[in-house]
Structure 1
Amino acid sequence: MTTPSPPLPARSVVVARALADAGVRGEVVELPDSARTAAEAAAALGCLVDQIANSLVFWADGRPLLVMTSGRHRVDTVALARRLGRASIDRATPEQVRAATGQAIGGVAPVGHPAPLETVVDESLAEHGQIWAAGGTPHTVFPTTFDELVRVTGGAVHTVTS
C-alpha cells in the first residue's frame, strides 16, 4: 500500500497546474530541507549544482526579466544588457520579485506567474540531460530538460556570463 503524498503548498499547486497545462511530465515535489540556494537544492537532490536552474528576477528598462541560469553561474548583468540591447539590468527587490512572479526569492519557478515574463535561459543548462527548477517555494522543485524549459518559458537562449 502506498502512502499518499502530502498536499503541495498553494504556490506550488499553481506551478504544477501551469506545468501540466504545458505538457510537462515532471512533477513538483516538496523536499524536507530548503532548496533556497543552488547548493542546497543540489545537496538535497544529489545532483550537480550545474543542474540547478536558478530563477533570478532582474529589472531591465522598467520591466521584470527572468533569467534561468545554471547554479554554477553568476549573471553578468552588464554583458547581458548589451546582448539584449537594454540600457541596464539590475537585481529586482524582494517586493518586485513577489509582484512579478507571485513567489518569494528562493522559490521562484519558471512558470505560474500572474502574467508571462520575458525570460532568458542560460545556454549552459543544455549540457545536462536533466535539470531541476524551483516549484514556487524554497522547498519545492521539479525535474525538466533544457529544451522543455525553453519551450515552457518562451525563453531566449543566451550566454549569461561574460
Structure 2
Amino acid sequence: MTETQHPAVARVAAALRHAGHAHGPQWLQDSAHTAQQAADSLGVALGAIAKSVVLALPGGAVLCVTAGDRRVDASRLPQQLGAVGRADAAHVRRHTGFAIGGVAPLGFEPEAGASAPTVLIDPSLWRFAEVWAAAGHPRSVFAARPDELLRLAGAQAHDFTESAHV
C-alpha cells in the first residue's frame, strides 16, 4: 500500500496541499511506531521527530506535539484544559480519526459527536530547522519547519515537557 491508497494519509496529504505546504507525506521503508524508529529510518536526530501524544480531557482530547527526545509532563499543560488522563486507542481514534502510531497534527476526522483535539506544540521543536511529523500511518511522515508546523496544525506553542531529555 502507498500513502495515496491509505485514506488517513490521503486526508493528511489533502490538508497539507490545502494549507499550501510544499512537502507531502513520505512513505517510510519500515514501520515507525516510535519516535526512535522514525528517526532511525530518516537518519535524523531523535529530537527532530515531532512526536504526537494524545491525552484525554473531559469531553475531548489534547494533542501534545513534542520533540522525540522529550516526555510530556501533563502537570505543565494549561490549567484551562481541565483534568487530563491517558487516552486509550478508541479515544484517540474517536477524536482524531487516526490510529495510535500515525496521529498527524492535522487532517483530523473525529467521529460523530466527538470534537477534534486541541493541539499544543512544545517549543523544544524549535531546536531544529526541520522536524518530521506523523502523516496518518506508522510508515508515513512529512517534513516542516517548526513555525510552519505550528501554523499547519492551528496549534498554540506551550512548554509542557519534562526538563530532562529522555
User: TM above 0.5, one fold?
Assistant: yes
The residue correspondences of 1:1-162 to structure 2 (distance < 5 A) are 7-80=4-77, 83-114=78-109, 116-162=116-162
Provide the rounded CA distance (Å) in 2 between the counterparts of 1:142 and 1:84: 31
Tell me the distance in 1 between the aligned counterparts of 2:145 and 2:73: 23
Q: Are the equivalent residues in 2 in contact too, given 1:78–1:88 (CA < 8 A)?
A: no
In structure 2, relative to structure 1, the CA distance for the partners of 1:79 and 1:30 (3 Å cut) is: same
| 1:144–1:8 distance in 2 versus 1, CA, 3 Å | farther
Mapped to 2, the partners of 1:15 and 1:70 lie a distance apart of: 20
Paired positions, count: 156
SS state of the match for residue 69, structure 1? strand
Matched-pair contact (CA < 8 Å) for 2:25–2:141: yes
Aligned AA for 2:49? I
Task: State whether residues 77 and 88 of structure 1, in contact with CA within 8 Å, keep that contact through their aligned partners in structure 2.
Answer: no
Report SS of the residue matched to 1:135. Answer: strand
Contact 1:57 1:97 in 2 (8 A): yes
**TM value normalised by structure 2:** 0.88
- In 1, the alpha carbon distance for the partners of 2:3 and 2:21 equals 21
Structure 1 gaps of 5+ residues are: none
CA shift at 1:160, angstroms? 1.3
**Structure 2: stretches of 5+ with no match in the other structure:** 111-115
Task: Work out the CA distance in 1 between the residues paired with 2:38 and 2:3.
Answer: 20
Query: Taking structure 1 as reference, are residues 60 and 26 closer, same or farther at Cα in structure 2, changes over 3 Å only?
Result: same
**Take 2:50 and 2:81, find their aligned partners in 1: how far apart are those partners?**
23
| CA distance in 1: counterparts of 2:137 and 2:119, whole angstroms | 19
One-letter amino acid matched to 2:129: G
Whichever residue aligns with residue 148 of structure 1, its letter is E
| Aligned mates of 1:86, 1:102 — CA distance in 2 | 21
How many angstroms does 1:59 deviate by? 1.1
Give secondary structure in 1 for the equivalent of 2:161. coil
Deviations 1:56-75 (A, max 9, x none): 11112331111111101110
Letter in 2 for 1:103: F
Superposed displacement of residue 86, structure 1: 3.6
Percent sequence identity is 38
When the two chains are superposed, the root-mean-square deviation of aligned CA atoms in Å is 1.6
